[in-house]
Structure 1
Amino acid sequence: MDIADIATPDFVEVDANERLGKVRAIFERENPKGVIVGEGGEYAGVIGEKQLINSHVEDNTKASALMKPVPKLDRHENVREVARMLVEGDTKVAPVYEGEKQYGIITQDGILEAVLENLDTLTVEQIFTSDVVTIGERDHLGQAINRLREHGISRLPVIDRDERLTGVLTTYDLVEFMVRDEGRQGKQDRRGDTDRMLDLPVYDLMTSPALTATPDESVRDAVARMLEQDIAGLVVTPEEDDGEVLGVLTKTDVLRALTYTEEEQMDVQVTNIDLLETLQRGDIISAITQVADKYQRMNVHHAHVRFHEHKEKLRGTPLIQCQIRLRTSHGQLAGSGEGYGAEHAFHVALDKLERNVLEVKGFEADERYRGQLLRKLNEL
């Protein structure tokens, strides 16, 4: 399947120097699926729907401040490759061209709607993320913000003192709250108000009850619920619904699943690949291969490497967080770390991953899948 029938001409085009206040007004009036940003008559980047509406950025700021550089896509590109690009670019929208002519955009939701009926062959258990990060309902919003930033994620399942699910808190909840409060308080010095908001308990802002999915549920049903409710993820809980948090299923997890091979196995993906700089994709592949090769009795089905840039810098080099997640025959294994520059962060995370792998005991030999990761890496 290609994206010829999925791409939509429903978008707004603005100049990189346009005020965000005007862009918001156009966007809210015309209700398009995304914003294409141009500069000097040439394509420069995109701004997503929720990114624009919910951003806590002054109206006088230029559109380029929210712009994300995303590669152009051919209108007849394969949907699997488009899914890979959206995941690796950490974006929900991308520009679509027909030759040299700009046709429109492709969105994450557009792809999921188009392939929805094909998702009944997958279960939530096969693709959800189990190394989930949670927050206590009595923790403060400031702690939640730090946790979201630290792990480069957009949602936190909220738990009570017994570690049972009571709700969910997302970055959109936080931004909406801050923008709403700002409008109520006006433009005066609000440092005290901001401190007060950060001290509020998560319980005051979380969405409750949280929408959930069970491991044995079909991905089709889970995605249909996300699209219907206009949310980006579901908390995964046991079928008996006892409040235990098993993990999270997001639309990005589903897009990643679309890159399954014919053998229903996945390969290596790098999210925010533009942050690599001195580190090359081949370096990442080689390093993960070496770790996998040391423990051949553990079959690695998929490797996902995610980079996230923090605002902090050292001599001009940004602080980067790297997360490496492996899906293996013995469950999910992960390692994360921070460093100044992607290369430093990656090696810190890789060292943590290898130590976590060493802790896994009792690997069983499985000749049919042995070396599978190596073969898939060579196909990239």
Structure 2
Amino acid sequence: MNIADIAVPEYVEVDADERLAKVRSIFERENPKGIVVTEDGEYAGVVGEKQLLRSRMEDDTKVSAVVKPAPSVKRTEDVRETARLLVEGDVKIAPVYEGEKLYGIVTVDQILEAVLESLDAITVDQIATTDVIGINEKDSVGRAINRLRENGISRLPVLDDDGMLAGVVTTNDIVEFVVRDQERQGSGDRAGDIDRMLDLPVYDIMSSPVVTATADETAEEAVSRMFDNEVSGLVVTPEGIEAVAGMVTKTDVLRALTFTEEDSLDVQITNVDLLEHTSREHVVESIESVADKYAQMQVMHAHVRLHQHKEKLRGTPLIQCQIRLRTDQGQVGGSGEGYGAEHAFHVALDKLERNVLEIKGVNADEEYRGQLLRKLGEL
């Protein structure tokens, strides 16, 4: 299946000189997955909710200040390669070209809807993230925003004082709350209004009850539930227990579509543009070295996620690196921070080595990959 069967010519487009106030109102009114930004009639990038949330810029700032480069794809591009580009670009929307002409867009939702019936070959526990970052319901909205920014994520499970699941707070919840409050308050001391909002407890804006999934459900069931409830992720809970066992998102499912049956390691690097002074080949060789040296395990897929903080040391930004491997002995990961992507990667790699040593008795997941690939080949 290629993108010609999925891409649509309808999309929201704004000029790079447009003000953030209008862009924020578009998200509130139309709830798009992203907005295509053009400059002098040429494609410049996209802007999504995460960019708006991370920005503390005033409403009259031009959208060009927060635009994010996103990969463009051809209408004839393969679904799997398009999924990889979206994951590596850390975006939910990409422009689609027909020759030199901008034809339309393709989104994560459009891809998942197209392959939905093939997702019964995957179970939630095979793709869910288990090292979940949460927040207490009494913590402030400001702390939630910082935690979302620092970890480059879009949702946090909210826990009560007993550690049980009480709700979920997302970037969308925060954006909607801020826009709604500003419309209600009207003009005035904007700085004071924002300070007041940041001090409110997360409990006041979280979504509850929480839409959840269990580990043994299929990805098809999980994605269908996301669509039905208009959410981008589900908290994974043990059967009948309101505790957090993991998180599964549309991006996790999209990532599974990129797995290959090649002998060489399949690697994805989210925010690959941060990888300036080291190569993809070095990343692959380093991860394979860990697998061979410590566990003799087969790594089918590696996801390396880079996230840049504002802090710098002599001009070099602080980078957070997360490495997640899917192996024939289960999932294993490691994370770390350093100045520059190469330093951060090797800190995370050291953590990965220690975690690899702890893998014991985890069932292989080669079979589900083969099932998924065969089903996708039939489409």
SS in 1 for 2:307: strand
Give CA-to-partner distance per residue, 1:164-217, whole Å, 9 cap, x none. 212111122223223333344445445554444333332222211110011111
Given the two structures, how large is their TM-score scaled by the length of structure 2?
0.86
2:54–2:149 contact (8 Å) kept in structure 1:
no
Change (3 A) 1:92 1:102: same
5+ residue gaps, structure 1: 370-380
Q: 72-81 vs 279-288, which deviates more?
A: 279-288
Aligned partner letter, 2:132: V
5+ residue gaps, structure 2: 368-379
1:335–1:353 contact (8 Å) kept in structure 2:
yes
Aligned partner letter, 2:145: I
Q: Which residue of 2 is the match for residue 77 of structure 1? A: 77
Structure 2 residue 332 is the aligned partner of structure 1 residue 342: no
Q: Which residue of 2 is the match for residue 216 of structure 1? A: 216
Using the aligned pairs only, state the percent identity.
67
Change (3 A) 1:32 1:8: farther
- Give distance in 2, aligned partners of 1:126 and 1:120: 12
Q: 19-28 vs 208-217, which deviates more?
A: 19-28
Give CA-to-partner distance per residue, 1:221-240, whole Å, 9 cap, x none. 1111111222110001122x
Q: Which residue of 1 is the match for residue 377 of structure 2? A: none
Give CA-to-partner distance per residue, 1:282-320, whole Å, 9 cap, x none. 221121111111123444332111011122223332221
1:309–1:319 contact (8 Å) kept in structure 2:
yes
Change (3 A) 1:101 1:361: closer
Shift of 1:270: 0.7
Aligned partner letter, 2:273: D
Given the two structures, how large is their TM-score scaled by the length of structure 1?
0.86
Residues paired across the two proteins, number: 366
Change (3 A) 1:27 1:345: closer
- Give distance in 2, aligned partners of 1:135 and 1:87: 25
Q: 228-237 vs 65-74, which deviates more?
A: 65-74
Q: 335-344 vs 35-44, which deviates more?
A: 35-44
1:10–1:33 contact (8 Å) kept in structure 2:
no
Structure 2 residue 143 is the aligned partner of structure 1 residue 146: no
Q: Which residue of 1 is the match for residue 67 of structure 2? A: 67
1:56–1:179 contact (8 Å) kept in structure 2:
no
- Give distance in 2, aligned partners of 1:220 and 1:54: 32
Change (3 A) 1:113 1:50: farther
Aligned partner letter, 2:3: I
- Give distance in 2, aligned partners of 1:191 and 1:19: 18
- Give distance in 1, aligned partners of 2:53 and 2:129: 28
- Give distance in 2, aligned partners of 1:23 and 1:136: 31
Q: Which residue of 1 is the match for residue 232 of structure 2? A: 232
Aligned partner letter, 1:137: E
- Give distance in 2, aligned partners of 1:149 and 1:323: 15
1:8–1:104 contact (8 Å) kept in structure 2:
yes
SS in 2 for 1:292: helix
Q: Which residue of 2 is the match for residue 245 of structure 1? A: 244
